[in-house]
Amino acid sequence: QIVVQVASKYSEQLTPEEIIKLFESYKSYEGLYFYCGAILTSSENPLVHFKYIESAAKMGQFDMVVNVCRESNFYDPEK
């Protein structure tokens, strides 16, 4: 949790793309899920929205997948 808190706090300086790469390099889908979830409401970055959907599906959080797919205007549905 501490890693997700630090990543969320410094997201603008480190960029979401780099933080997402970091979580993926360690195959930390749980960390990716919580990080993207923490910044989702304030982000218009399509990658953040897509990675949240992807990591939520891997975590079995299908209700969250459905919610974000319905409510988000920022992800690419083709992906």
User: Which helix (H) or strand (E) element contains residue 58?
Assistant: helix 46-58
CA–CA distances in Å: residue 10 to residues 6, 13, 24 = 6, 5, 18
The predicted structure's pLDDT at residue 31: 97
Half-sphere exposure of 25 (CA within 13 A, CB side): 6
> pLDDT tens, 23-68?
999 999 999 999 999 999 999 999 999 999 999 999 999 999 999 9
The predicted structure's pLDDT at residue 78: 80
